[in-house]
Structure 1
């Protein structure tokens, strides 16, 4: 079912007679998740940039407004790249992919070799593979491990990434699932290798945990390479491909908002769903995403704890949107979905869908727990508040908008229908 709406479209079909309601929630959850994804990835660029600067200015005290200004510059650079550089996006994303792979290889080699070159000890096998470092106050190491899976869930990304450009690729019913599979294979292998290498390079964990720099990678790289210059270089290697990630996030959330708008699921749908005649892309929806991310950045100036919950909200909202598509698919006997190139036959499909639903529900609850105990206002996990509040807003908006909401439609970006509606 190729559609730029992704799970929004799928939930509308798998849920049968309740498809409009499930699709509505799935679409909004997914869109808001990608907004949080764009904001949090831009914030990562900002903290790494300021940390790289502070490496050579030990007396420099990083303020929130420093990170905010960097955030705004990076955010609008990526947003305008998507809005105005539509024809360059395939080349940019291809280049970003090469930079990611190249940067991964450079980082792994440098972090593996430099401790030996500098004649400094590696971390022992016990530290990397078996010793638990529980610094968050929970008594159960198993629960801490599950809570820490939030970082992995955020880093690997969402399986619906490629689906949001399904209407702009050839043979999407085959290539989109293949893209998702390749994404996770590459992500698993590279993330595992990267994590193992940098863990072996850490020689003082307390300095990493207590570093004054906003990005812990700066201290990790400094310990691994033994020099500030080496840490700075590896941070640059990390920052450059992250721009490609943010561009991808804007590409996805802009397409998702455009998909919702063309189905009258948003305020001012007649404006947001317009496709620019010259650039042939949903420019207005992309610019709206940029403005929303700017507002989210303003929150960081007032409260960095609330902004930190955006990472958890991204993971929880994406998984909720998947649950809105997979659970109805399972409950309806997997009967409402047309067979495509990849289809799990018989009991295997039910088992996989059942495990996926159970896993999603359990970890949504876990990811709403505070990162450490005891809890106060500054250490509270506001993910549950953000997710619950936004869900209440989505539900209220449904009762106002349901008469005009037409449900998902499948229209290609390059079609004459869109060209006509844009004029």
Structure 2
């Protein structure tokens, strides 16, 4: 379970990194050169992450203020400069089902993808306290921010058909509501925020892959475990995950819906990886566990059951093709990606994992391996 959980989380972390980098590339340039910018963004993120975890902390502090101020700026500019505003009943009550399924309920469920991203609390100090607090604050803040931004955006739409036909709907919305120079300024605000997401996701993925190398859970683990420079950064792992992300994005040239599968894979894999411990808790460890400073008490088991049910339900929903009728190009390949990850992980476990993987290494084992 730990082995497969690690590989599922790693797949989700890499897919999330791809999503952040590709979205930022779309903010910057047209589709013809998006892949080139995507590669450049990943390499720039490698250069930044190589500076060490301390610089990642600086970026996080900067991002907090940048996102807060940037959100306010975007909201005010759109509301003030928009030539007209649709009526409130259109904003709050109208429903447009463009999936082809003729099912408002299914259209709503498919739309949950954008709200399905999870928080990754990695590398925080006093994680038993700061992790849960950060997640709660992050969720509440995201709900408030998302509701406000969504309502403002809907009130500033000028031409719905143009947005639906545009390959870059965010930029199109900004141009409709403001003008070219102002729209470019607003896109810069989004691009900077998005790079912070790229860098943070790269750090999370590299930490996960490095830990798996430490625990002998990846091929040639001695090679990938090595740290470099004064910052002691896993440069080889940073370059490896960049190469994987570049190779994995290439099928997007052949299918416009391939990108949706990457996004679905990211959300499903991270949710599944977080759901694995919940399932283990219910099946194999039902006796009382040592409680930390943050716990759910008697609600622990019921919340676990709800969480597992949601993860399974959400995973099925996000594997459904987003449009109907379904063709090879419009097929949602998320299930294939996730199934492929589990199959390869299981095969690798049979070949070498069951012999070499003994679980997370402890202090003395890590010191011995580092010296070697």
Q: Residues 287 and 410 (structure 1 numbering): CA distance in 2 closer, same or farther, change over 3 Å?
A: farther
**Cα distance per residue 1:202-253 (max 9 Å; x no partner):** 1211110012xx321011112222x122221111111111100000000000
Alignment of 1:267 with 2:219, yes or no, is: yes
2:241 corresponding residue in structure 1: 289
What is the distance in 2 between the residues matched to 1:365 and 1:371?
12
TM normalised by structure 1 equals 0.83
Q: Residues 341 and 45 (structure 1 numbering): CA distance in 2 closer, same or farther, change over 3 Å?
A: same
Runs of 5+ consecutive residues of structure 1 not aligned to the other structure = 1-21, 52-61
**Contact 1:35 / 1:289 at 8 angstroms: preserved in 2?**
yes
**Contact 1:300 / 1:307 at 8 angstroms: preserved in 2?**
yes
2:317 corresponding residue in structure 1: 366
2:25 corresponding residue in structure 1: 46
2:73 corresponding residue in structure 1: 106
Alignment of 1:73 with 2:26, yes or no, is: no
Alignment of 1:165 with 2:123, yes or no, is: yes
**Contact 1:272 / 1:284 at 8 angstroms: preserved in 2?**
yes
**Contact 2:14 / 2:205 at 8 angstroms: preserved in 1?**
yes
**Cα distance per residue 1:341-372 (max 9 Å; x no partner):** 111111x2222111111111111111100001
Decide which of 1, 4, 9 is 1:30's aligned counterpart.
Answer: 9
2:230 corresponding residue in structure 1: 278
What is the distance in 1 between the residues matched to 2:54 and 2:150?
35
How far apart are residue 306 of structure 1 and its match? 2.6
1:399 corresponding residue in structure 2: 350
Q: Residues 409 and 304 (structure 1 numbering): CA distance in 2 closer, same or farther, change over 3 Å?
A: farther
Alignment of 1:145 with 2:143, yes or no, is: no
What is the distance in 1 between the residues matched to 2:241 and 2:229?
20
**Contact 1:41 / 1:242 at 8 angstroms: preserved in 2?**
yes
Q: Residues 126 and 302 (structure 1 numbering): CA distance in 2 closer, same or farther, change over 3 Å?
A: same
Alignment of 1:97 with 2:64, yes or no, is: yes
2:272 corresponding residue in structure 1: 320
Alignment of 1:196 with 2:196, yes or no, is: no
2:169 corresponding residue in structure 1: 216
What is the distance in 1 between the residues matched to 2:8 and 2:177?
40
What is the distance in 1 between the residues matched to 2:95 and 2:333?
26
**Contact 1:72 / 1:297 at 8 angstroms: preserved in 2?**
no
What is the distance in 1 between the residues matched to 2:362 and 2:320?
39
What is the distance in 2 between the residues matched to 1:175 and 1:101?
21
**Cα distance per residue 1:140-188 (max 9 Å; x no partner):** 211110111011113xxx23x11x214xx2x221112112222212111
Could you say what secondary structure the match of 2:329 adopts?
A: coil
**Cα distance per residue 1:52-95 (max 9 Å; x no partner):** xxxxxxxxxx42xx111111111110122112344322112211
Alignment of 1:136 with 2:92, yes or no, is: no
TM normalised by structure 2 equals 0.94
Alignment of 1:205 with 2:157, yes or no, is: no
Runs of 5+ consecutive residues of structure 2 not aligned to the other structure = none
Q: Residues 29 and 326 (structure 1 numbering): CA distance in 2 closer, same or farther, change over 3 Å?
A: same
What is the distance in 1 between the residues matched to 2:207 and 2:50?
11
Report the aligned-residue RMSD.
2.0
**Contact 1:296 / 1:307 at 8 angstroms: preserved in 2?**
no
**Contact 1:277 / 1:422 at 8 angstroms: preserved in 2?**
no
How far apart are residue 336 of structure 1 and its match? 6.6
1:382 corresponding residue in structure 2: 333
**Cα distance per residue 1:267-309 (max 9 Å; x no partner):** 1111112233622233332222122112223333444433431
Could you say what secondary structure the match of 1:372 adopts?
A: coil
What is the distance in 2 between the residues matched to 1:121 and 1:110?
13
How far apart are residue 391 of structure 1 and its match? 1.2
Q: Residues 336 and 30 (structure 1 numbering): CA distance in 2 closer, same or farther, change over 3 Å?
A: farther
